[in-house]
């Protein structure tokens, strides 16, 4: 292992010394303030509302939150006053409209509650108008086409369905109000607005299907999401000694460690004291914010972990997911660690995903993707399940596009994460059920063992599929689907918008077909469902695949089946311009063509920009850190050779020869990369993304190849960058 000596004073060796001497701060207080006391402590929750608001106001608000009833703006002043009093009692001095621009980050505009009264003191103010609407400067946020045509004036609008909360900081507390961010023409400039719109679309179509099954209570059907977040933790001293990790979020150099993950001893292994302290602290902070987290364990790679909050409605889950990332970063910092959310921070080591568990349900119907106990329930379940299958089949391109990013490209298809090909895993039993239906079970005799939907002969559908498959990008896991292609650093908004909308379209199709076939009579429903399911399976069952998604055979098989294989973001992002996709999002009023185009532009720019930053870093680190270290070592070897020769000794110059050749190759490859970077685009984002993907990234890998080879040769005390071994194993 490198780092044995401490000569040369390189930042790397100083980092190792600092890490070794890490001392933990004072322990947290779990006894005087037990966990249940802090749970929800900083949330303006329904129970706080109930306590502090007049009954009528409370009821009106809850109606909006639970069933999407239109908000009565008249109550805003009362809610604002109660919110302000509650927040100030908890020590808040400021309020902030929190919004979610297309950068994927969270943005906030802070304002003080206190305003001067003109007589030397101040009064606390927070009106309904201030609660409902804010006006941040929109010009600094990406808005793609929308910015191009319009002035970048934007408004933030209170999202009643996502509760306000207080964010604690060492120097104060802020009341945070989740908001949508729209342009003055009402166009969505953020990630939240389309999530809300797509949830409405899903609800509308789900109600039509439920009505056919006799459920007319209208309880809002909401999509639910539970994201499992994977991440890495490394000591901050290492982090700051790695400009690539710090600026690009991933290492652009680094030879594989002598001990990798092949021993598999990290997965579910013991969690170190320091990491456990971090986890407990983070959980406590999250629980104050009303984010209940469920699991924690070591992931496959060394230094990798996972956290999963309990599922919530899609909109809330999206906000909480963003907040969770912020909290984790902050708490890790407190324990001297960098929280790394990149999809592939370390080459050759498992990457990080964010599995989005997805379902839909209502307060009266429960989870609609839960197979029922009765044949009637099962028929309904099969319709909802088939609708999802059809949706994935029809909109593979869109689903791939919403998980496309420069970071996720390094993970998808890397034999550790699902391939870039979309397919649905159902498990053998459920697949068999659908196969039987496809063969026309209703018409064939029951005696032959065929299944008829909605009659007593229907076999019970397994509640929890026994078989699990980690290689599928879209897997049914007993009562929900798990979209595993999502990257660890991505907002889950895009994937949820896509899933909500494509499922809405499928449910629309199902409802329309069933309405046509039954003509309002309920006794024709079974036969109609049977026909519908058979039709869907005939059209779409090529998307179902229960085998090994990592295997080469699947890639060939998928091609035969005509499934899309969009390997990189450069291949996938153009699907945001696909006519079918545009029609879909427009029809269900989730994104107008212009809003969609702006997203295509912003995400493509992001991709190009990310690769450009990485390329710059590669040149900089290669030329100013690695090259000098290699040359110094080369010089040492050369001097030794010359001295020994002068004294009449033999000196084997093999190492010197190798180093010399590598130094030359390093120099040449840096020059070649620079040349690719100078490439002048013609303004076409597709072409520029292609260039980044096909020319710049491979040129970066060339530089890395020589640098990593040098890492194995250059004297340890001269090597400037913390190694993989050090970063992943020293804690
Ligand atoms: P596993 O590792 O087996 O996939 P985890 O317990 O790590 O399971 O994560 C499962 C996630 O799925 C949790 O976030 C959980 O809340 C979520 N989940 C469970 N039921 C639903 C549902 N009906 N809709 C959405 N997410 C769900
Ligand atoms: Mg999972």
pLDDT of 182 above 50:
yes
For residues 712-723, average pLDDT: 95
pLDDT of 630 above 50:
yes
Nearest CA to ligand 1 atom 23: 359
- Going by pLDDT thresholds of 50, 70 and 90, the confidence category of residue 375 is low
Higher pLDDT, 541 or 115: 541
Using the mean position of ligand 2's atoms as its centre, give its distance from the Cα of residue 54 in Å: 42
Element (H, E) at 181: strand 172-183
The percent of residues in the chain predicted with pLDDT above 90, rounded, is 69
pLDDT of residue 294: 72
**Among 14-18, 60-64, 222-226, 692-696, where is mean pLDDT lowest?**
14-18
Q: Helix %, strand %, coil % for the chain, to 5?
A: 50, 15, 35
For residues 600-604, average pLDDT: 96
Using the mean position of ligand 1's atoms as its centre, give its distance from the Cα of residue 474 in Å: 14
pLDDT of 150 above 70:
no
- Going by pLDDT thresholds of 50, 70 and 90, the confidence category of residue 365 is very high
Beta strands in 402-518 (DSSP E): 424-425, 474-476, 481-483
Nearest CA to ligand 1 atom 2: 228
Closest ligand 1 atom to Cα of 479: 23
pLDDT of residue 466: 52
Q: What is the CA radius of gyration of the chain?
A: 28
φ and ψ at 178, to 5 degrees?
-65, 135
DSSP 8-state code for residue 474: E
Query: What b/e sequence results for 486-517 when a residue is b if at least 16 CB atoms lie within 10 Å of its CB, and e otherwise?
Result: bbbbbbbbbbbbbbbbbbbbbbbbbbebbeeb
Backbone torsion region of residue 513, taken as left when φ is above 0, otherwise alpha when ψ lies between -120 and 50, otherwise beta: alpha
CA distance to 380, 474, 542, per residue, from 433 (Å) = 14, 19, 15
pLDDT digit string (tens) for 243-287? 999 999 999 999 988 766 555 555 445 678 889 889 999 999 999
The response to whether residue 305 sits with its C-beta less than 6 Å from ligand 1 reads no
3-state secondary structure of 333: helix
**Among 175-184, 191-200, 289-298, 344-353, where is mean pLDDT lowest?**
289-298
pLDDT of residue 446: 36
pLDDT of 6 above 90:
no
Length of the chain in residues, anyone? 731
The response to whether residue 366 sits with its C-beta less than 6 Å from ligand 1 reads no
Sign of the dihedral defined by the CA atoms of residues 518, 524, 529, 530, in that order: negative
- Going by pLDDT thresholds of 50, 70 and 90, the confidence category of residue 489 is very high
**Among 101-110, 216-225, 252-261, where is mean pLDDT lowest?**
252-261
pLDDT of residue 1: 41
Round to whole Å and give the CA distance between 286 and 39.
8
pLDDT digit string (tens) for 506-557? 999 999 999 999 987 878 898 899 999 999 999 999 999 999 999 999 999 9
pLDDT of residue 409: 96
pLDDT of residue 457: 42
Report pTM. Answer: 0.93
Element (H, E) at 155: strand 154-158
For residues 586-601, average pLDDT: 96
The response to whether residue 476 sits with its C-beta less than 6 Å from ligand 1 reads no
The response to whether residue 311 sits with its C-beta less than 6 Å from ligand 1 reads yes
Regarding beta strands 133-134 and 154-158, do their DSSP bridges make them parallel or antiparallel, or are they unpaired?
Answer: antiparallel
Closest ligand 1 atom to Cα of 225: 25
Please choose from 480, 488, 492, 499 the residue to mutate so as to test ligand 1's pocket, defined by most ligand atoms within 8 A of CB.
480
Domains of the chain by start residue, with CATH: 38-190 (3.10.20.70), 607-729 (1.20.120.1560)
- Going by pLDDT thresholds of 50, 70 and 90, the confidence category of residue 562 is very high
The response to whether residue 224 sits with its C-beta less than 6 Å from ligand 1 reads yes
pLDDT of residue 286: 95
Higher pLDDT, 11 or 365: 365
Helix extents (H) in 463-592: 493-518, 525-540, 552-561, 569-572, 579-587
Nearest CA to ligand 1 atom 22: 359
Using the mean position of ligand 1's atoms as its centre, give its distance from the Cα of residue 528 in Å: 33
Ligand having the closest approach to the CA of 370: 1
Round to whole Å and give the CA distance between 286 and 327.
7
**Among 90-99, 429-438, 682-691, where is mean pLDDT lowest?**
429-438
pLDDT digit string (tens) for 463-488? 555 567 788 999 999 899 999 999 99
Nearest CA to ligand 1 atom 11: 226
For residues 318-328, average pLDDT: 96
């Amino acid at each position: 292992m490198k780092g044995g000596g401490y000569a040369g004073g390189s930042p790397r060796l100083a980092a190792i010394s600092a890490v070794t001497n890490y001392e933990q701060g004072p322990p947290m207080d779990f006894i005087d303030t037990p966990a249940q006391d802090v749970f929800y402590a900083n949330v303006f929750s329904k129970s706080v509302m109930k306590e502090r608001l007049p009954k009528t106001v409370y009821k009106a608000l809850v109606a909006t939150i639970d069933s999407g009833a239109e908000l009565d703006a008249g109550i805003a002043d009362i809610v604002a006053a109660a919110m302000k009093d509650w927040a100030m009692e908890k020590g808040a001095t400021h309020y902030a409209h929190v919004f979610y621009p297309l950068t994927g980050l969270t943005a906030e505009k802070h304002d003080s509650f206190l305003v001067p009264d003109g007589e030397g003191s101040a009064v606390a103010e927070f009106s309904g108008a201030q609660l409902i609407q804010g006006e941040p400067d929109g010009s600094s946020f990406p808005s793609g086409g929308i910015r191009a045509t319009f002035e970048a004036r934007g408004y933030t609008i209170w999202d009643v369905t996502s509760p306000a909360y207080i964010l604690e900081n060492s120097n104060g507390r802020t009341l945070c109000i989740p908001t949508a961010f729209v342009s003055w023409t009402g166009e969505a400039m953020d990630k939240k607005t389309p999530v809300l719109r797509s949830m409405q679309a899903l609800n509308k179509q789900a109600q039509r299907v439920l009505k056919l099954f006799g459920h007319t209570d209208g309880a809002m059907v909401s999509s639910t999401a539970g994201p499992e977040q994977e991440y890495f933790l490394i000591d901050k001293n290492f982090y700051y000694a790695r400009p690539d990790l710090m600026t690009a979020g991933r290492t652009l150099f680094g030879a594989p460690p002598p001990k990798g993950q092949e021993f598999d001893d990290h997965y579910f292994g013991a969690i170190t004291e320091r990491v456990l302290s971090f986890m407990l602290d983070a959980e406590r902070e999250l629980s104050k914010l009303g984010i209940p987290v469920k699991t924690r364990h070591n992931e496959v790679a060394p230094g990798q972990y996972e956290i999963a909050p309990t599922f919530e409605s899609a909109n809330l889950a999206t906000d909480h997911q963003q907040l969770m990332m912020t909290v984790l970063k902050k708490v890790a910092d407190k324990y001297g660690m960098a929280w790394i959310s990149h999809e592939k921070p370390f080459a050759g080591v498992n990457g990080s995903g964010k599995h989005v568990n997805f379902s839909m349900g209502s307060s009266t119907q429960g989870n609609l993707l839960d197979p029922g106990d009765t044949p009637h329930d099962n028929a309904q379940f099969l319709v909802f399940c088939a609708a999802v299958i059809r949706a994935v089949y029809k909109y593979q391109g869109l689903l791939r596009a919403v998980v496309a990013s420069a970071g996720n490209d390094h993970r998808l298809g890397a034999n550790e994460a699902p391939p870039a090909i979309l397919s649905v895993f159902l498990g053998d039993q459920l697949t068999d059920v659908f196969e039987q239906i496809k063969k026309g079970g209703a018409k064939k005799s029951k005696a032959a063992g065929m299944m008829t939907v909605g009659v007593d002969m229907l076999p019970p559908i397994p509640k929890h599929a026994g078989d699990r498959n980690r290689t599928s990008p879209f897997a049914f896991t007993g009562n929900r689907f798990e979209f595993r292609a999502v990257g660890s650093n991505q907002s889950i908004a895009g994937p949820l918008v896509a899933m909500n909308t494509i499922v809405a379209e499928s449910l629309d199709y199902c409802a329309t077909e069933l309405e046509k076939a039954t003509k309002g009579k309920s006794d024709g429903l079974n036969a109609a469902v049977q026909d519908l399911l058979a039709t869907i399976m005939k059209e779409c069952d090529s998307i179902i695949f229960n085998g090994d998604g990592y295997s080469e055979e699947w890639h060939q098989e998928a091609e035969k089946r005509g499934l899309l294989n969009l390997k990189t973001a450069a291949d996938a992002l153009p699907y945001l311009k696909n006519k079918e996709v545009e029609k879909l999002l427009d029809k269900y009023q989730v994104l107008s063509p212009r809003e969609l185009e702006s997203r295509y532009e912003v995400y493509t720019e992001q991709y190009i920009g990310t690769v450009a930053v990485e390329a710059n870093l590669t040149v900089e680190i290669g030329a100013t850190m690695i090259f000098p270290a290699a040359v110094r070592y080369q010089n040492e070897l050369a001097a030794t050779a010359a001295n020994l020769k002068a004294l009449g000794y033999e000196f084997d110059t093999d190492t010197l020869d190798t180093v010399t050749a590598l130094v030359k190759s390093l120099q040449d490859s840096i020059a070649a990369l620079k040349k690719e970077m100078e490439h002048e685009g013609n303004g076409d984002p597709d072409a520029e993304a292609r260039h980044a993907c096909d020319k710049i990234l491979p040129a970066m890998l060339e530089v890395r190849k020589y640098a990593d080879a040098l890492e194995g040769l250059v004297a340890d005390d001269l090597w400037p960058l913390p190694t993989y071994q050090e970063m992943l194993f020293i804690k």
